[in-house]
Amino acid sequence: MKKVYLYKRFERFWHWGQTILILLLIFTGFEIHGTTDFMGYASAVRIHNIAAWVFMVLIVFAVFWHITTDEWKHYLPTIKNMRAQLDYYIVGIFNNAPHPTKKRTLSKLNPLQRLTYFALKVLLIPSMVITGLLYMYFNYPLPGIEMKSLELVAVIHTFIAYLLLTFLIIHLYLITTGHTVTSNLNAMITGWEIMDDDEVKEIVTEAVEEAGMKIKPIDDENDSVGHDEIKNLVIEALKETEEKVDKKKLKGQKGDHHIHDLMKPKPKTKKEE
């Protein structure tokens, strides 16, 4: 077992910032609806509106980050392994079956997570923001949003809030299904995900393939130079991956000799010299 650096700093900041804001919005939302009575209606409305604006600012930064880093690709829905993932959550997880989808640096989410997060980001959260703005500016002095009634807006806004609450409850359960009960939680706090040795090897292979995408055709006259460039690209990719692997040994973890062996340059033959 090894630790691999999987979740970037901003990714973790965005995740926990979003979590805190959504919990605050849900709590004050219950207060506004009269379900609870801890701070009073006026205070709840004020805090709810402030949290909503902070949430919208965070969304803008998150959208920019996802686009500029290509992280948005993690959320594209796919049907590959969808049935296996459903079977795992319904039956396999209770029989200690292996997880059908392995995490990768280029694919962190399983098919159900992709579908769920895609719906959250493209449908639910935008709808929540739009209905929230309608609430804020309903019949507001110039310029305002003129509507005969907020009944439909209220129903949609509240319904989405309950869907988000349901998602949070399910999410809290699913984070306990990692290698250990707290491993997924620790990964989102520190960025380091616990992985099997085979998974680490596959990440190394993934890094080599990603480096291969950067290779361009080279003239025949510069074959020897081209060979060195290709070799350097692969070594650079391996080094980049190795930097993400925690050098601190876990309980029962073997050494990283297989990765270091890959990194060592092979001795030159007489022909190469």
Distant-in-sequence contacts of 80-88, Cβ < 8 A, 24+ apart: 80/111, 81/110, 81/111, 82/111, 82/112, 82/115, 85/110, 85/111, 85/112, 86/112
Assess whether 241 and 139 both reside in one domain: no
Count of structural domains, the chain: 2
Does 165 reside within a domain?
yes
> Among 156, 190, 224, which residue terminates a domain?
190
Return the higher-pLDDT residue of 176 and 208.
Answer: 176
Residue 228 pLDDT: 63
Helix/strand/coil for 88: helix
Residue 68's pLDDT band, with cuts at 50, 70 and 90, is very high
Does 269 reside within a domain?
no
> Among 190, 211, 235, which residue terminates a domain?
190
Does 86 reside within a domain?
yes
Helix/strand/coil for 5: strand
CB distance 213 to 109 below 8 Å: no
Residue 255 pLDDT: 47
Does 268 reside within a domain?
no
Assess whether 234 and 174 both reside in one domain: no
User: What global pTM score does this model have?
Assistant: 0.72
Q: Tell me: the pLDDT tens digits for 6-36?
A: 899 999 999 999 999 999 999 999 999 998 8
> Among 173, 190, 207, which residue terminates a domain?
190
Assess whether 11 and 143 both reside in one domain: yes
Does 273 reside within a domain?
no
Which domain covers residue 252, as residue numbers? 196-263
Assess whether 162 and 203 both reside in one domain: no
Assess whether 121 and 221 both reside in one domain: no
